[in-house]
Structure 1
Amino acid sequence: MKKYFFLGLVSSVVFLNSCNSTDENEMIIDPIAEPKILLSKVTTVYYDNPSNPETTVSTLQYNNQGQLIKTTTAGRNSTNEYDSSGKPVKTNYYKTDGTLEYYSLYTYSGDQLQNVKAIYSNPDFNRTINYTYNNGKVATSTLCQTADCSNPSVSNYTYNGDNITLETSEMGGTIPISTKHEYLYDNQLNPFTFTNKYFRIMMGGAHALSKNNYASERISFKDNAGNWVQNQQVIYDIQYNSAQLPSQVIGKDTNGNNYVKYNYEYIAQ
């Protein structure tokens, strides 16, 4: 159930529109506005075990250009390096003791992020995420954990306008696991509106890649006969701040049980 949006920036490589353009091919482009409202802290409460919820806190630091330079989650830090055009080129991931655990390198084709490679001192741990696009939007992300990319994990995205309405994922392995998420949205900008578009691609999923906030989510799995079986539906109650960005999101299942809770804090720059 857990969706580690910022752990993708600090511990493992998993996983908008321009305000002056209406071209839907430019969905994952940093909006132009002054001041930018930058996400500075995300507190997530997971209710996998309702009697003992798990809380994760991520903090984000920026330089004067609004570039994300450091992320901290559960005592683990990541730092980002950029080229002269503002594209991320390297992210360093550190253990809780401050020593380097691994780093990631970003490869581009023009303005499109093609892949992110995680490099460890032990090459057996290396992995790569490859991306494909359709009309400028991320269509698939493929996680390869071996050099020959045997048994990859693949996510596919289907859009309605600027929002992902259907996300299917198949985890590679001896016994593949297939899941499907179907989303409905509000009409407000999501918390990652001003997050670097390439980090949003790397984080992946409807939460980071879509323009708006999903208000409901249906979750299904594929049974042994190859049929999709819905096993969960989550409804999200979204509260907004004065900038009309989410300040708190609470997800509950159809029985009213807590599923997940997000609290978002921002800084203006």
Structure 2
Amino acid sequence: MKKYFFLSLMTSVVFLNSCESEDVIDLSNDFEEPKILLSKVTTTYYANPANPDIDVAKLIYNNQGELLKILSEDKSSSFEYDNAGKPVKTNYYKADGTLDYYSTYTYNGDQLLNIKAIYTNPDFNRTISYTYENGNMVTSTLCQSANCSNPSTSSYTYNGENITVETSVIGGTFSTSTKHEYLYDNQLNPFTYTNKYFKVSMGGAYVLSKNNYTTDRISYKDSAGNWIQNQYVIYDVQYNSAQLPTQVVGKLSDGSNYVKYNYEYITQ
């Protein structure tokens, strides 16, 4: 459930509103549905239990519920959209407010094809490309060189609207492979209603799935090509009155802390 980018969460709460005058109910007016937006994510990593690493991200929106900025202690980002509401550019800033790099988005109809990160030094440029099956994003490929000689890839296997298997290969001279196998609850996760293109760009089973996973079986591939399980994480999820997660705590099978997420929301 590690997050590399924090995105908006928008879910609509359906309600009926009517005006009554002399026993005549007027249903001719359309009413805007309120939006529940993810406004803050606090992530606590327990790689060093004696000194946990805490990351706080605040999300800022415009009046249309579009994500404008993400603010954290040592970096920030801002987003630009086209007239159809598709993100077209993300600017990433350093702690001092100067531009670090930016990313541009390329589409084929309603599918996000790739995102290109552009740096002042072109040697740092990179591209992430996506493929789809039945409308679901099934692979992402990260290329950090012009000829994409050592790509890193992630692939996803779905069961309904949830990803049950996520496999990642980190490219390089000595590549590494990791596999996650998930089980889920039946409640909506914080990113269910976010902009679908942000979900693809963020990647990961938690963001791309409908529900919250409750267990994560983690394996690595050894030199002989065999998968060896080395971690098993159990997640406890707490919800608010809208049945959206407010806290997700992951613990290893021995009971030690693995990760904790706290989610806060606003209504527009």
Within 5 Å, which residues of 2 pair with 1:226-265?
A: 226-265=225-264
In 2: Cα distance, 1:118 partner to 1:147 partner: 13
Shift of residue 4, structure 1, vs aligned partner: 3.0
Counterpart contact for 2:81–2:87, Cα < 8 Å:
yes
Q: Which amino acid in the other structure matches residue 129 of structure 2?
A: N
Letter in 2 for 1:197: K
1:29-68 alignment, distance < 5 Å: 34-68=33-67
**Cα contact 1:163–1:209 (8 A) shared by 2:** yes
Q: Does the CA-based 8 Å contact 2:11-2:193 persist in structure 1?
A: no
Provide structure 2 residue ranges, at least 5 long, that are not aligned to the other structure: 15-31
- TM-score normalised by L of structure 1: 0.89
- CA distance in 2 between counterparts of 1:211 and 1:137 reads 12
Structure 2 residue 168 is the aligned partner of structure 1 residue 181: no
Q: Percent identity?
A: 70
CA distances 1:43-87 after superposition (whole Å, capped 9, x unpaired): 000000111111000110110111000001223110000000000
Q: CA offsets, 1:158-203, max 9 Å, x none?
A: 0000000000000000000000000000111100123211111111
Larger Rg, first or second structure (1 or 2): 2
Secondary structure, in 3 states, of the residue corresponding to 1:49? coil
> Which secondary structure state, in structure 1, belongs to the residue aligned with residue 198 of structure 2?
helix
Q: Work out whether 1:103 is the aligned partner of 2:96.
A: no
- How do 1:82-101 residues align onto structure 2 when only pairs under 5 Å count? 82-101=81-100
Q: What secondary structure is seen at the aligned counterpart in 2 of 1:98? A: coil
- The Cα of 1:251 is off from its aligned counterpart by 0.3
Please identify runs of 4+ aligned residues in structure 1 that moved more than 3 A.
Answer: 16-20
Q: Which residue of 2 aligns with 1:205?
A: 204
Q: Provide the residue aligned with 1:161 in structure 2.
A: 160
One-letter amino acid of the structure 2 residue matched with residue 48 of structure 1 = A
Letter of the structure 1 residue corresponding to residue 125 of structure 2: N
TM-score, normalised by the number of residues in structure 2: 0.89
Deviation (angstroms), 1:18 = 10
In the aligned structure 2, how far is the partner of 1:106 from the partner of 1:167? 24
8 Å Cα contact 1:36-1:194 kept in structure 2: no
2-structure distance, mates of 1:39, 1:208: 13
Amino acid at match of 2:261: Y
For 1:138 and 1:193, locate their aligned partners in 2 and report how far apart those are by CA, in whole Å: 15
Q: Equivalent residue for 2:112?
A: 113
Deviations 1:91-132 (A, max 9, x none): 000111111110000000000000000000100000000000
Q: How many residues align?
A: 249
The equivalent of 1:221 in structure 2 is 220
8 A Cα contact 2:12 2:35, kept in partner: no
Q: Distance in 1 between matches of 2:197 and 2:69?
A: 15
C-alpha displacement at 1:5, in angstroms?
A: 3.4
Q: Is the 8 A contact 2:114 2:130 kept in 1?
A: yes
Q: Secondary structure at the match of 2:251?
A: strand
Q: The residue matched to 1:64 in structure 2 has which SS? A: coil
Equivalent pair of 1:6/1:58 in contact (CA under 8 Å): no
Give the residue type in structure 2 aligned to 1:215: T
What is the identity, as a one-letter code, of the residue corresponding to 1:90?
A: K
RMSD: 1.9
